[in-house]
Structure 1
């Protein structure tokens, strides 16, 4: 185990080879766009990023994650110290195995599907309820419940209103067509009158011509002649069709009646009726273009007023009766048409059957809707009606024979009588321990490749998260905790570790404990979403909104898995909605709990998250407000250093949030004596000129580090931020006062100058972030002093300062190499150019309006 631990700590697949500092520092180069030459500050053949480095940069497109507060100090551990991680790793695996391997503590050896080693006989009479089978049958009954349908009053009213509109349209068309029949049906048959009104002009004109000719001949005849005989002998009559001849004969007979109208009056009646019928037909064709139209049948205009009233009444009654019976969705239209015809049969004239059926079918639609509450109640009632599955056995009965497979009923009886041989499954627990060890190794591998440098407290926190999930499994809430784990782990340690932790828990939890897989998978989906999104967020408000998104995703995944894995009837697909809503609520609650715990965990375990760093960087923080009011020059110096350091950190893919926060607090110790630093003297007398003691002045300068640490601890800054206070100065020499001491020693032999008296106590920068801030702090004053310098001159000066820090050994442990120094120098000059941009010189007349007027 010790060898495995040493190998896990030594392997680093993502770390490039580090260049050690050399004795000589190459000359300065310019910032133009030409290729670097051999005499440039950093050689042309400087090592390029490895291919996997470019891949890593592409994968890290999101904001960089906060590094651990663990500093990369030189490895000076002795052998006993190397044993401790191995012991901690072993204890962690054993503890996690014991906590999550709950399934193996009282696991029956005789389970469903195993072969019985002997014949087992029931020792006594028993009736045992099979809870698992009973619940399965009740679930099937619940999912198979027929939905409860209730009439939709709004749909009924809409259907009735549509029928009323159709009947009104029909009434208008009938009024437009005129009264019918035109004459008494006993004098002129109704069929003939129908033909006269509806026949086209080409068919009606020959008939009326023959009738006129016969009437004229009868009037002019000198001897009485039979009208019908005269009609049949007429040549035009012979050219008519059989139907036309019948109409002509009926008209001639009508003319022989004593009460017959004159031909002129009769012609006027016929032409008026024909014209009204033609207009009504045209309007009918126009109305037929809408969705719900009157059936295309001529019976509408042929019915008498009494017959039409009967049709209207029966159609309304039939529609009300069908709506009262209810029309569910999906019923075939043919069946509804047959039902409507059966209801109208014998109640309206036979020739109006198609018209009545058409009016009903034109407006009829489903009017039954699912009552969710009643359906749910019915489903629950159906589930409660399912009797409990009871396994009965008599004393002396054989429960299972030797060599036979144990089924569910036999297992229930064996477990009831205590014959299932429940005991600690040592081999199963050992196998689970191996899986747990593999999971821990995978987590450590991901940590070493994607997020190196976790501290002991970080491992303790991750272990506590897993143990917390195991504890919740006893209460039955373990499957709902994965969103909280994903949100916390990814916020603290990044997407890779958060996703890995959620995935490992989702895999190992159902192996070691008994959990429902559907809620577990839904919770794992919510946890993965938290792991992917949480590290990109920069405020608590955004995390709170993420909780709502997680709830929606968790509920949707639960609903989809339930539909896929459970036998749900199509008509009752919505029954799992209750469970999905509860899953969504669990996801939101889990995220809210994690959001509430996050600030406490950050302080207890000294964690730096992007959100905490953003909060610390707020100018409204009391410490920063004090710095701005008590040491304004230092505060302005801090802002410019922050600009330089942030730009460099962003170019090197370092933690920009940590650099920003650390830079803002790196000089807070100067508030102990603001006038002891030249940027706060505002052109006034220099305090150190009055002191005239370089040792005292050096102590004042160095004290801003020690006092800064005191202030940082007082306001509970994270250690990762506190590290910027001493490390931005490292062990640098306070050159000005050291030079004065040396000059004083030249004139007074009794004075002994120790260089250590004029050096900061350190430590030197232990991370790229603090190294960048050291360089930015060193270059800030020099860059501010340049007003008319060219970029090449500014770059030369920056490189001289960087060379001095490099030669002084201040960057040995920072992780920065010479290639990084080249990038940092370029970035510093670019930021200086942005601050030192040129402005348009305004004319004096603009600045002095009175002078312009004169």
Structure 2
């Protein structure tokens, strides 16, 4: 297997060494080489570099970000609401009929303080020209003229007084509003905000929202210069009144922000199209023209010409292949060491499976591309089948070996390795298919983010790697889905157990377990108590708890071949063994529950790891009761042959793992612990230790890898479980029946 593994992995990992040019870029030409004919040779390296440059420099494709657009519109609405509230604090405007005073005059009058207004009123009544420059201004003259006209028209002094009160109240409200300008509006001209009449303000809001919508529909890319933004705003507002333009030019820059974001998929597609449009770079050469002189180093252009004419002397790079072979051998050696340290027993099928999965990762790189390697699926499957340590080891070894066969793409390989490592470390902890599906999302995110970070650190522009990161994440997700789909088939073909499969087998609704509970209820109850003991022990010793529970549930299924020959299933006083009165035959019947159990397990296609609990939980122990009975009969009848202990021993083998060893001890202690009704914990511990000592001295645990210290831990755990089952209860009084 070692030789086959080295040969297989070397052949797929070192594929680039099969047809490698000897005369490549940077090597010294052994002789002067001339062109055999005139030609125009394509330079793939220069072409790839030109296309890569075009790919990187192509303009990104943007798309409107709906959430950012909505946020900008909401910000404008918030500003307009603040302005509306501010305008409301200044009172109604116009505060009198526009037939009496125009809005312009009304706005001018409410801006005046008490002294200026009184001066203006005196000029209304005066016949002499104004004496101050302020009264000569255009707005003041318009106000004086409007007030004189109204006073001359309305002879009633009551209306004049009402108008004066309205103006005075408006002035007071106006001054109060100016003293409480909201912080957001302090950069605006308060007089401009209060100059709009209500109809004008309603129309201004509508026009500002329309202008904003037009600008956002066109889109604002990141990094747009402020001068361009202001020019855009002016163009959108140019057909509106001057007051609306003034307000919009001041307000809209405060709310406008970029609402375009890069479309990764569209950008990638656009860049690929632009890159593909770059024509191949051709190198012209005439017949007999020197390509490279003897002793000169071969340049990129020289190599392109040599490749075109088939003069690069391609062949097998034996040094590269032997180097790859040495690295593969070292990687396999590391794998074997980790496997031994993890106490994983492998047979040939396990080695074949790991080899096939490992070879697939390199084979897909060879036949497709690096990004499509199955390394995430390999990490997930190996981690799920054999544990996170071995899964992570395989991922690290494969990633290192694959890099030997690459000439580029190391950043992408690093991202794939990161996702695969996460899959291998977490897969074993998943207990359902849904959790594995969630793991696929985690792997996808890990690969995508890892590629983004690594390429960013390498100096690639962010906008050019978003699409690549997305594709990398989707590939990782795809491989986890593939692994999830093929896992059940691999489990059955290679006879593997995973937490998910063990959980499915431990379901009490499985046909074999339902039959056991129905045909041998006593054995089923015994099995459940043994499972509780064994699970607690396995958890304390950090063993495979799922395997222990599942193996325990099936360890006594062979008793269904004749349940009444086992004491826990006997419901009457008649014991079928007493009717036989033949300890040898009784022992054979008892031992038969092991062989019959194996037959049932194979028929139901239980995994070998679960089947191992059926013979190993009994090991080669003596069936003590019938062995003692046979000895008594032999003593009473000297004519009988001497009793052979081997006739009363189970066929074995003894427990070959810590898990089956724990179940043997739990099974041995179950009956003894059930019989201890009112015993103390110390007595229970002594009973358990006595049983453990007997199994140890009988060499039943010699291959189980259980140590004496672990046996002490198991004994304490079994006592704790026994105490939970046999805790004291409150004695309830017996109900008295009243006399009739």
Shorter-normalised TM range: 0.7 to 0.9
Shift of 1:151: 8.6
* Conserved? CA contact 2:616–2:660, under 8 Å: yes
The correspondence for 1:718, drawn from 607, 610, 614, is: 607
Check if 1:506 corresponds to 2:399. Answer: yes
For residue 619 of structure 1, the aligned residue among 502, 508, 517 is: 508
Instruction: After TM superposition, list the pairs within 5 Å mapping 1:476-515 onto structure 2.
Output: 476=368, 479-513=372-406
2:330 corresponds to 1:438: yes
Q: Secondary structure at the match of 2:529?
A: helix
Task: Tell me whether 1:792 sits opposite 2:682 in the alignment.
Answer: yes
- Match of residue 705, structure 1, among 591, 594, 601: 594
Change (3 A) 1:114 1:182: farther
The answer to whether structure 1 residue 462 and structure 2 residue 354 are counterparts is: yes
Question: 1:345-360 counterparts in 2 under 5 A?
Answer: 356-360=245-249
Q: Counterparts of 1:374-453 in structure 2 under 5 Å?
A: 378-453=270-345
SS at match of 2:94: helix
Deviations 1:232-284 (A, max 9, x none): 8xxxxxxxx65369979x979x9899979889699758735733652673697
Residues 672-711 of structure 1: per-residue CA shift (max 9 Å, x gap)? 1211111111134111111111111111111112222222
Shift of 1:482: 0.9
1:272/1:355 CA distance change after superposition, 3 Å: farther
- For the residues of structure 2 that align with 1:652 and 1:343, how far apart are their CA atoms? 76
1:728-743, aligned counterparts within 5 Å? Answer: 728-743=617-632
CA contact (8 A) 2:19 2:317 kept: yes
For the 8 Å contact 1:294–1:358, the answer to whether it is kept is no
In structure 2, the partner of 1:115 is 28
Q: Which one of 496, 501, 506 corresponds to residue 607 of structure 1? A: 496
Q: Are the equivalent residues in 2 in contact too, given 1:127–1:392 (CA < 8 A)?
A: yes
After superposition, what is the alpha-carbon deviation per residue over 1:287-346, rounded to whole angstroms, capped at 9, x for unaligned? 96386899526468889999999999999999899789876554444555467668989x
1:783 equivalent to 2:673? Answer: yes
2-side partners of 1:719 and 1:306: how far apart?
87
Indicate if the aligned counterparts of 1:104 and 1:426 stay in contact, CA closer than 8 A.
yes
Pick the structure with greater CA Rg. Answer: 1
Match of 2:481 in 1: 592
Counterparts of 2:739 and 2:617, CA distance in 1: 56
Matches within 5 A, 1:740-779: 740-753=629-642, 754-779=644-669
CA shift for structure 1 position 438: 2.0
Specify whether residues 270 and 774 from structure 1 end up closer, same or farther in structure 2 by C-alpha distance, changes over 3 A only: closer
Flag the structure with more relative contact order, 1 or 2, with Cα contacts below 8 A and sequence separation at least 6. 1
Q: How does 1:797-808 map to 2 (within 5 A)?
A: 797-808=687-698
The match for 1:813 is 703
Q: Distance in 2 between matches of 1:650 and 1:314?
A: 72
Unpaired runs of 5+ residues, structure 2, are none
Change (3 A) 1:169 1:359: farther
CA contact 1:726–1:762 (8 Å) conserved in 2: yes
User: Do the aligned residues in 2 keep the contact of 1:180 with 1:304 (CA within 8 Å)?
Assistant: no
Q: Is the 8 A contact 1:151 1:367 kept in 2?
A: no
Where in structure 2 are the equivalents of 1:172-571 lying within 5 Å?
175-178=93-96, 198-206=111-119, 208=121, 243=134, 268=161, 271=164, 274-275=167-168, 277-278=170-171, 281=174, 285=178, 289=182, 296=189, 298=191, 328=221, 330-333=223-226, 336-337=229-230, 356-363=245-252, 365=256, 369=260, 372=263, 378-476=270-368, 479-513=372-406, 516-565=409-458, 567-568=460-461
Whether 2:2 is the aligned partner of 1:89: answer yes
CA apart distance, 1:533:
0.5
Kept in 2, the 8 Å contact 1:627–1:635? The answer is yes
**Residue of structure 1 equivalent to 2:53:** 140
Alpha-carbon distance in structure 2 between the residues aligned to 1:822 and 1:691: 41
How far has the Cα of 1:829 moved from its partner? 2.1
Aligned length: 728
Whole-Å separation in 2 of the counterparts to 1:542 and 1:320 = 45
Q: Which residue of 2 aligns with 1:638?
A: 527
Per-residue CA shift, 1:618-673, capped at 9, x if unaligned? 21222212211111111111111222222222222222222222222221111112
> Is 1:824–2:714 an aligned residue pair?
yes
Contact 1:292 1:362 in 2 (8 A): no
Structure 2 Cα separation of the partners of residues 737 and 308 of structure 1: 107
Question: How far apart are residue 765 of structure 1 and its match?
Answer: 2.2
CA deviation after TM superposition for structure 1 residue 104, in Å? 0.9
Is the CA contact 1:299–1:355 (under 8 Å) kept in the aligned structure 2?
Answer: no
Cα pair distance change 1:523/1:686, threshold 3 Å: same
Q: Mark the CA change 1:756 to 1:194 in structure 2 (over 3 Å): closer, same or farther.
A: closer
**Aligned-pair distance for 1:590?**
1.2
Secondary structure at the counterpart of residue 844 of structure 1: coil
Q: Is residue 2:735 matched to residue 1:842?
A: no
Q: Which moved more, 1:617-626 or 1:328-337?
A: 328-337
Q: Distance in 2 between matches of 1:404 and 1:175?
A: 91
CA contact (8 A) 1:341 1:357 kept: no
Q: C-alpha distance in 2, partners of 1:491/1:258? A: 98
Q: Tell me the TM-score normalised to structure 2 length.
A: 0.85
CA-based RMSD of the aligned residues comes to 4.5
Residue deviations 1:349-399, cap 9 Å, x none? xxx857632334424636874684876665444334423222222222222
Cα 1:677/1:309, change in 2 over 3 Å: closer
| Deviation, structure 1 residue 530 | 0.8
Offset from partner CA, 1:186-217 (integer Å, 9 cap, x none): xxxx99x98765331123335656886x77xx
Measured in 2, the distance between the counterparts of 1:528 and 1:811 equals 36
Deviations 1:422-461 (A, max 9, x none): 1111111111222212212222222232344333332222
1:518-571 alpha-carbon deviations (Å, 9 max, x no partner): 443332222111111011112233223322322232233334444444643x6x
Distance, in Å, in 1 between the alignment partners of 2:688 and 2:243 is 99
Tell me how far 1:169 sits from its aligned partner: 9.9
- Does the 8 Å CA contact 1:163/1:359 hold for their aligned counterparts? no
Whole-angstrom CA distance in 1 between matches of 2:224 and 2:658: 74
CA distance, structure 1, for counterparts of residue 520 and residue 220 of structure 2 = 83
CA 624–286 in structure 1, closer or farther in 2 if over 3 Å, else same: farther
Query: Quick check: 1:196–1:270 contact (8 Å CA) kept in 2?
Result: no
CA 694–270 in structure 1, closer or farther in 2 if over 3 Å, else same: closer
Report the alpha carbon displacement of residue 751 of structure 1 after superposing the two structures with TM. Answer: 0.3
Deviates more, 1:145-154 or 1:768-777: 145-154
Going from structure 1 to structure 2, the CA distance change for 1:327 and 1:292 (only over 3 Å counts) comes to: farther
Which has the higher mean CA deviation after the structures are superposed, 723-732 or 125-134? Answer: 125-134
Distance 1:521 1:762, change over 3 A: same
| Distance (Å, rounded) in 2 between the aligned partners of 1:663 and 1:487 | 27
Whether the 8 Å CA contact 1:133–1:389 is kept in 2: the answer is: yes
Q: Provide the C-alpha distance between the structure 1 equivalents of 2:518 and 2:724, rounded to a whole number of angstroms.
A: 26
Larger mean Cα displacement after TM superposition, 384-393 or 624-633: 384-393
Report the more deviating stretch, 417-426 or 592-601.
592-601
1:91-106 → structure 2 map (5 Å cutoff): 91-106=4-19
Cα distance between partner residues in 2 of 1:362 and 1:407: 61
> Any conservation in 2 of the 1:176–1:279 contact (CA below 8 Å)?
no
The equivalent residue for 1:16 is none
Question: Distance between the aligned counterparts of 1:796 and 1:592, measured in 2?
Answer: 52
